Chains A and B, each alone.
Chain A
Amino acid sequence: DIQMTQSPPSLSASVGDRVTITCRASQTINTYLNWYQQKAGKAPNLLISATSNLQSGVPSRFSGSGSGTDFTLTITSLQPEDFATYYCQQTYVTTRTFGGGTKVEIK
């Protein structure tokens, strides 16, 4: 299976901050990379597919970039509702894998 490594595991930020989360694949996955947001006690929500395709209804402050093995999720101006855990997921091979998650907490 392809291993996905996210960094940092957690971060503290303030409302209005720019936040960047990194995801690295153990082998190339082209741009087959999704990002999910999960709030406490809730199911995950798909934010971005195929590295940079924002899902319908997702605010434009979220963006994704990268290719090959290195990817980033950027939140340009953190809002109170963005405090959550974020996961990357590769869909390059049929046995999908998630990263370990990045918890975004209030500073």
Chain B
Amino acid sequence: EVQLVESGGGLVQPGGSLRLSCAASGFTFSTFWMSWVRQAPGKGLEWVANINQDGSEKYYVDSLKGRFTISRDNAKNSLYLQMNSLRAEDTAVYYCARGGGNHDFWGQGTLVTVSS
């Protein structure tokens, strides 16, 4: 059974940093593109970033370039999102999703709240 489990969310002050993790199981992680998608409270989905199988290609939504970094560790079957210089508008549920575009499996999400 495919499982994606996010962790690392929580309350952080504006300007702070947070690193999200996504533990994958039930499939050969190293053969799939992976993505992060977020959803602000009561709002729609926003695609954040994706990464190819060996981590050599990474793409980001224009508005987040330079502040967020996606990475992966295939030996640990894990996906990461390093978030720096966080702002109130980054408050959202962050989902890990399998695939670079056709997201056929999703995690349950982890809530990031940016507030003083």
Contacts and interface: CB of A to CB of B under 8 A. Distances in A.
B103 A46 contact: yes
Contacts of B100: 91, 94, 96
B47 A96 contact: yes
Contacts, number: 59
15 contacts: A34-B102, A36-B103, A43-B95, A44-B45, A44-B95, A55-B104, A91-B100, A95-B60, A96-B35, A96-B100, A97-B47, A97-B61, A100-B44, A101-B44, A101-B45
Pick from A1, A91, A96 the residue with the most CB of B within 10 Å.
A96
A95 B47 contact: yes
A76 to B, nearest CB: 23
A27 to B, nearest CB: 15
Interface of A: 1, 32, 34, 36, 38, 43-46, 49, 55, 85, 87, 89, 91, 94-101
A105 B54 CA distance: 42
A94 B50 contact: yes
B108 A43 contact: yes
